[in-house]
Amino acid sequence: MATLDTKLVDVVGGRTAKALSSGFDMETVADLLRHYPRRMAERGELTDLASLRVDDEVTVLAEVRSAKVIGHRRQAGQRLEVVVGDGKGTLQLTFFRQTWRQKELTPGTLGLFAGKVSVFRNTRQLTHPDYQVVAKDGFEQFEADTFASTLIPVYPATKEMRTWQITNTVALVLDSLDPVADPMPAEVRARHHLVELATALRTVHRPETWEQWHAARKRLKWDEALGVQLALAQRRAAAAANPATPRPGLADGVLAEFDKRLPFELTAGQRSVGDELAAGLARPHPMHRLLQGEVGSGKTVVALRAMLQVVDSGGQAALLAPTEVLAAQHARSIRTLLGDLAQAGQLGGAENGTRVALLTASLPAAARRAALLDAASGAAGIVVGTHALIQQHVSFADLALVVVDEQHRFGVEQRDALRSKAKQPPHLLVMTATPIPRTVAMTVFGDLDTSVLRELPLGRSPISTTVIPVGEKPAWLDRAWKRIREEVDAGRQVFVVCPRIGFGTEVDAELEAQFDDVELPEKRPPLAVNDIFVMLRDGPLHGLRLAMLHGGLVPDEKDRVMGGFVAGDVDVLVATTVVEVGVDVPNATVMVVLDADRFGVSQLHQLRGRIGRGGHPGLCLLVSEAMPGTPSRERLDAVAATTDGFELARHDVEQRREGDVLGSAQSGRRSTLRLLSLLKDEDLIVEARDEAAHLVADDPQLTAHPRLAAQVAALVGDDGAEYLEKA
Ligand code: ADP
Ligand code: MG
């Protein structure tokens, strides 16, 4: 008999164990039983072919009757036509060009074929169906009892381990499995109507009915959700127990003075988030908060007010930006907002003020020494810099608050490095303009509390977005360039964004990685800043003041170009995505994104947030060759259709694999979340989170549920821990 920990080799024999190990990294019985079927195919699905409706998505289990190649090599229309049947009816499959499949789909082969039903010359067919060979010699291959069952599991399989071989191996293992103890507390099971673990493990593989299969999956998803949420709940509990210096601020300090001088009213959202932060900083435990807010929603002011509260309490705040350009801009806008409050110790400085130190790699040595000294002595209440720089070089007199602008490039190593500079764990505020769907936030950033700024400040102008389909309507592009001239004539400024720098530089690797799973037909290389700059300067935008900005420039040059654009000395800025986050030029009203289909939905949304920041309406033009109906085009249409960042974030997540959502750094999670979908199982995740909070509140170590505690410990013990840390 076997337990979940028994080595596979002891149950299924050496050859099979080896194939499972090399194909799927499986070593134990548990590994195999956690290899869930991708779907269930129903025998008899094909029995009434006449009832298959055109446009239905179907999966059929059938035997290949014939396979022949029609047409000649190199000739358009050459195709492989396969006829499959199950004894009661037949269906045609068509593969254009992929005639090599003839070798695989020989007569007698049993397979599962999935696709959309269409009609061609009065015959119902599937064009390019996904298929999986189930057995080479038809229905015979199935063992008697598998054959008798109506639901047939379809597993992720390899050439060495076909799905029916996995079916048979799982059957063998289940038959020799000892009773499995259930780690989930009975009352949790009862509350959510969940079947026992032993039942679930059996019926997820070999259900007799669809109900059984769904019940099994629900239970197993719960295990995944509850495990993660318990781990996060424990972390939150542990973090909340850490001591931190309370920074309650002063009634009549710099913050009060700053508020008096603010040239605008805070929005209701800014006020309520401000209250949350103020309360968090005043507590004797470290605040860990994620602030989400649309581009332009005014996160900087909110963060600055928190920083001033800390300064009023005698501490320092560090503001970390992902790039030098952004760090410099943050320092600039904070100094502007503070005015003489940022000039402590200088002539004309307010007496209760502080200083803002900027630390960038490109700073001249003397200025840098001065900034470092200000940080170390405490003269600078606010220190702004890039992540890297602040971690490496700076020491603080009393670091009280770390604000991170744009979380996704900020991992746990960075957090730890900063923490080591403070006497006690500092309070932490992470800001992001990329909205994160609720359950993703709950899972990926589950140990942070979340605040959201939903409304944009009054006076923000609307942005309209239009797709320019150059494939179908090339003339639209000429009109776009004319439109840009008009804007410039009216005194406004324009961004032109390209996916690539040019001159042999590689495509933005990050950008490329996003589309790993999208099969791009051999496409021309993405448009490059260098080429487009020349093309526009000598062509449609001749006579306007153009400049280039991209990551290949030395920092000085970048600052100079950006400074020129901010000052209005440049009409049109041709740039890569360096303009993505934070760049604030209220006079910029138009953004043209070339090869827009090369960017992700959220990225496009962020990009267009650079315009419409002043009193004039913004116009964003998404130029693309993507044809209607393609996924690329659908992405662009989605961006054009709404300015709701949360809706777009959802869209983004739907289009990508979940592993990518979690990020490559969090790949450990992939092995843990097998069935759970962060989008589709939102309700379940919310319930599991509540359940976890409830269990941990009474009993942080889960001493009453040792098996559950062990399960969570195992999750946190391996890759899970790293994943959780990434928040
Ligand atoms: P983001 O959330 O994108 O970081 P910012 O903080 O940069 O947004 O704010 C964008 C602009 O809006 C800034 O120029 C800022 O001064 C201004 N702003 C912020 N809050 C308000 C408000 N309540 N009323 C008017 N303007 C505001
Ligand atoms: Mg910002």
CA of 460 to the centre of ligand 1 (A): 9
For atom 13 of ligand 1, the residue with the nearest CA is 298
Q: Around Cβ 616, how many Cβ atoms within 10 Å?
A: 18
CA distance 500 to 485: 24
Q: Which residue in this structure is represented by tokens 């500079």?
A: 421
* Ligand that comes closest to the CA of residue 294: 1
Q: Among 273, 584, 585, name the best residue to mutate to test ligand 1's pocket (greatest count of ligand atoms within 8 A of Cβ).
A: 584
Q: Do 396 and 422 form a contact (C-beta atoms < 8 A)? A: yes
CA distance 34 to 478: 57
CA of 523 to the centre of ligand 2 (A): 35
CA of 299 to the centre of ligand 1 (A): 7
CA distance 671 to 678: 14
Task: Establish whether residue 299 lines the binding site of ligand 1, counting it when its CB lies within 6 angstroms of any ligand atom.
Answer: yes
CA of 613 to the centre of ligand 1 (A): 9
CA of 270 to the centre of ligand 1 (A): 10
Q: Tell me the average confidence (pLDDT) per consecutive run of 10 residues in the chain, 727 residues long.
A: 92 93 92 90 58 69 88 79 81 86 88 79 82 67 49 78 84 94 95 97 94 96 92 83 91 94 92 96 92 84 97 95 86 92 77 88 88 94 86 88 76 66 85 74 71 76 89 89 95 94 51 40 72 94 94 85 92 85 79 93 85 85 88 88 80 58 39 76 90 91 92 67 40
CB < 8 Å & 24+ apart, contacts of 556-563:
556/362, 558/324, 558/325, 559/324, 559/325, 559/328, 559/362, 562/325, 562/328, 562/329
Phi, psi of 592 (to 5 degrees): -110, 120
Q: In 444-460, which positions are buried (b, 16+ CB within 10 angstroms) versus exposed (e)?
A: bbbbbebbbbeebbeeb
CA distance 303 to 153: 53
Atom of ligand 1 nearest to the CA of 297: 2
* Ligand that comes closest to the CA of residue 303: 1
Residue partners of 658: CB distance under 8 A and separation at least 6? 670, 673, 677, 678
Count CA atoms within 13 Å of residue 710 on its CB side. Answer: 7
Two tokens, residue 38? 């991708």
What's the pTM? 0.64
* Ligand that comes closest to the CA of residue 295: 1
Give me the amino acid identity at 446.
G
Two tokens, residue 667? 């790949």
Strand partners, 113: 60, 131
Q: Where are the alpha helices (DSSP H) in 243-298?
A: 254-261, 268-282
Task: Establish whether residue 580 lines the binding site of ligand 1, counting it when its CB lies within 6 angstroms of any ligand atom.
Answer: no
Q: Do 184 and 172 form a contact (C-beta atoms < 8 A)? A: no
Two tokens, residue 142? 């199935």
CA of 583 to the centre of ligand 2 (A): 8
For atom 5 of ligand 1, the residue with the nearest CA is 298
CA distance 18 to 726: 34
Atom of ligand 1 nearest to the CA of 293: 2
CA distance 106 to 135: 11
Q: Quick one: how far is CA 576 from the chain centroid? A: 21
Q: Do 142 and 135 form a contact (C-beta atoms < 8 A)? A: yes
For atom 18 of ligand 1, the residue with the nearest CA is 298
For atom 23 of ligand 1, the residue with the nearest CA is 266
Q: Do 185 and 705 form a contact (C-beta atoms < 8 A)? A: yes
- For position 445, what pLDDT does the model report? 64
Task: Establish whether residue 529 lines the binding site of ligand 1, counting it when its CB lies within 6 angstroms of any ligand atom.
Answer: no
- Exposed / middle / buried, residue 144 (Cβ in 10 Å: 0-12, 13-18, 19+): exposed
CA of 316 to the centre of ligand 1 (A): 23
For atom 19 of ligand 1, the residue with the nearest CA is 298
Strand partners, 114: 59, 130
Two tokens, residue 693? 């909070």
Task: Establish whether residue 315 lines the binding site of ligand 1, counting it when its CB lies within 6 angstroms of any ligand atom.
Answer: no
Query: How many residues are recorded in the chain?
Result: 727
Give me the amino acid identity at 151.
L
